[in-house]
Amino acid sequence: MFRIEAAELLLVRLPLNFRFETSFGVQTEKLIPLLVLHGDGVQGLAEGTMEFAPMYREETIAGALHLLREVFLPRVLGRTFANPEAVEAALGTFRGNRMARAMVEMAAWDLWARTLGAPLGTLLGGHKTEVEVGVSLGIQADEAATVEVVRRHVEQGYRRIKLKIKPGWDVQPVRAAREAFPDIRLTVDANSAYTLADSGRLAALDEFDLTYIEQPLAWDDLVDHAELQRRLRTPLCLDESVTSAADARKGLSLGAGRVINLKVSRVGGHAEARRVHDVAQAFGAPVWCGGMLESGVGRAHNVHLSTLPNFALPGDTSSASRYWETDVVNEPLEAVNGLMPVPQGPGIGVTLNREFVARVAELEEEHRA
Ligand code: OSB
Ligand code: MG
């Protein structure tokens, strides 16, 4: 049992250490909503991964702040819950907006785990004490820059390199990276930039021994992905278009992909993420933990979720120091030789750097029943 006494809603802006270009745009900073749920002497932390503009999926920060203030937080404040699934159920009547709902659900998991004094991963059913990680590398200026940035991350020990691609910039960077590094685990991510009419161009990637091609087609599509998968040798990996265990079941049974990029926030929280994990396992499909350029709060959640057994491929949860000069948490989250240690304190195992957060926060609100 735990009670949700109060909530803090924070918004911080962090400059990124690198320019991150994807098929949908360029990011040089990250605007990050944080939620702190206060219980009996413990706090639960979560991070929103929706963005300022609806470029990845449809959710936005403004929409999430509105829903948290006016709809979701009023449903949980001042109430006692048996477990985090009961918090999920309290928001279960609402449609969509899973990243916003996930903030409440994930903070509840952290609060509950801290109440019990157990690491979150253990409560989720995970056993690993470190998880394999790769990196997601943005679109570079040319082939030489691509090879150079791949080299740097291979040397750091990352276990998989993912290159962002878009129409007109796909075979070129992949060929350059593959020729320079014949043996690395290499993947690409198109963030929904192609259509079925491009299947010839995507089939040209078959010769590069990619572990998968991530989300080539529309963000809300499963049917065209199934048709594309029939035309390719390379497995497809679904990201944007899986927001629930039901989507995972439909996608895998249609043959829309053979791998799932599992982002806990995209599917509405840890309970649903575990269901997606289990559905994929039943289909014999591996999952891996995606990222949304999270601060230490979201990153720690991701690492704990990744301790479940069917996270069989390296995740995007690379070292926090790649992203930021200063993180919002006190504890370092650093991979060594491509292995990220699972923070071993209670809950997600990291704590807010309150002094830094107060300095960079653009919004600080307290909500009570
Ligand atoms: O598609 O996985 C994606 C970042 C923002 C939005 C979507 C995606 C990504 C990444 C970055 O690939 C992964 C990370 O380093 O956190
Ligand atoms: Mg992706």
11-268-211 Cα angle (round to 5): 100
Residue 357 CA to residue 328 CA, distance in Å, equals: 6
Query: Is residue 109 domain-shared with residue 150, that is, in the same domain?
Result: no
In a domain, 126, yes or no: yes
Mean per-residue pLDDT, 159-180: 98
Task: List the CATH number of the domain containing 336.
Answer: 3.20.20.120
CA distance 313 to 323: 22
Residue of 30, 128, 162, 164 marked active site: 164
Do the domain assignments include residue 56? Answer: yes
C-alpha to C-alpha distance for 327 and 321, rounded to whole angstroms = 8
Residues 342-351 pLDDT 10s: 999 999 999 9
Among this protein's residues, is 263 annotated catalytic?
A: yes
Mutate to test the pocket of ligand 1, among 21, 214, 292 (most ligand atoms within 8 A of CB): 292
Our count of domains for the chain comes to 2
**Mean pLDDT value of segment 284-302:** 98
| pTM, full prediction | 0.98
Q: Are 205 and 171 in contact (CB under 8 A)?
A: yes
- The ligand that comes nearest to the alpha carbon of residue 303 is 1
Same domain flag for 237 and 149: yes
Task: Note whether residue 51 is domain-resident.
Answer: yes
* Ligand 1 pocket check for 158: Cβ under 6 Å: no
Instruction: Verify that 27 and 171 share a domain, yes or no.
Output: no
pLDDT, tens digit, 9 for 90 and up, residues 210-227: 999 999 999 999 999 999
315 lines ligand 1 (CB under 6 A): no
Q: With respect to residue 40, please indicate whether it lies within any of the assigned structural domains.
A: yes
Is the CB of 136 within 6 Å of ligand 1?
A: yes
189 Cα–ligand 1 center, Å: 9
47 C-beta closer than 6 A to ligand 1? no
Which tens digit of pLDDT belongs to each residue from 315-343? 999 999 999 999 999 999 999 999 999 99
Answer yes or no: do 198 and 314 share one domain.
yes
